[in-house]
Amino acid sequence: ASWDEALVSVVAQAIAQEFKGKGANMMLGPGLNVHRSPLGGRNFEYISGEDPYLGARLGASYVKAVQGERVMVTIKHWAFNEQELDRSSTSSDVDERTAFELYYPPFEAAIKAGAAAVMCSYNFVNGTQACSNSALVTGVLRDKLGFPGFVMSDWSALKGVGALSAGTDMEQPDPDWFAPALLTQNNALFRARIAAQHILAAIYHLRLDEFPGCTLPCAASRQSNQRTPAHVHLAEEAAAKGIVLLQNNGVLPLRANVKTILVLGGDSDVGDTLNTWGLGSPYSGGGSGHVPALDVVTPLEGIRLLATSRGIEVLTARSDLDRADIVIVVGATTSREAQDRASFGLDHDPDGLIA
């Protein structure tokens, strides 16, 4: 929401440095899908928002910064993975003009920026599973967008060994379909050699052979804490610059004679969750993209800290409404992977308070 390419670049560089410090030389991101609906369960992961131009500009900055640290990116999810409901069985039916005008631009820009890998998605595209869709993976991604790197599957997304001939190069997380015996039985070894060439070319292009990182199993590196005060400050700066003020009827900035503030809303003092595959939290959605925050400053804590320093009393009970000079209602929502949101409403029903 900052629309700040330079800031995105600095943040991406910091993330890559932390990845590298943990021994990783590849990142499963950035997510570039364009929001088709505000109910999308993984919208919180995608930097494009609902604007393909925004996604193209920010995605390119992100890719360049991460790979400048010799950490390989995997742009995802190719393609049209704009919903989580029935994501492994539903088909996204898209005509060519819509695809190129709305959904491809972030991926095209990331490819031009040098993205090394692409992750194909769970969903079907025009009736064919994305990773096995040769028109999508070879025809569009390689032939029309000029992608030279390698294509990996989303986790257990493959439906058959035919994905290899369609253009997918790597099966994740295990070789269930790309097992040597199956490749031999299906006369796919020649295409497997091409897949290996795509993977090795990406490795050598980023010179990862010269900077391989830690030695497996990398236990010490993976357990290390790579967070630094500078990166914490950077995260705060990025969050602040991403704030969007939708409307102001003369309330902000608060007038100097405010003596009492009433803070309402069920999310005003909620912490984060350490359960990655749970519902998520207002700070980070649930699923594989959840990054737990151990020491968040809740809105109530932040308001109370600043207000107290200025001699302002902070109230939290609705019964104190008549005493309050200003009322702040904190509303929030979250979403999660593998499940779309059920409604447009905020969590814990603060809509009535806001209205």
| Catalytic position from the list 51, 93, 154, 295 | 154
- Burial of 111: CB neighbours in 10 Å, binned 0-12, 13-18, 19+: buried
Rounded Cα–Cα distance for residues 77 and 79 (Å): 5
DSSP H/E element including 223:
helix 219-223
Rounded Cα–Cα distance for residues 5 and 10 (Å): 9
Q: Are strands 124-125 and 128-129 parallel, antiparallel or unpaired?
A: antiparallel
Tokens of 117: 């890998």
Name the residue with tokens 């986790």.
Answer: 155
**What are the distances in angstroms from CA 107 to CA 60, 110, 112?**
9, 5, 9
Has 176 been annotated as catalytic? no
Tokens of 185: 């039985």
Rounded Cα–Cα distance for residues 131 and 6 (Å): 33
Tokens of 335: 């979403």
> Which residues carry out catalysis?
154
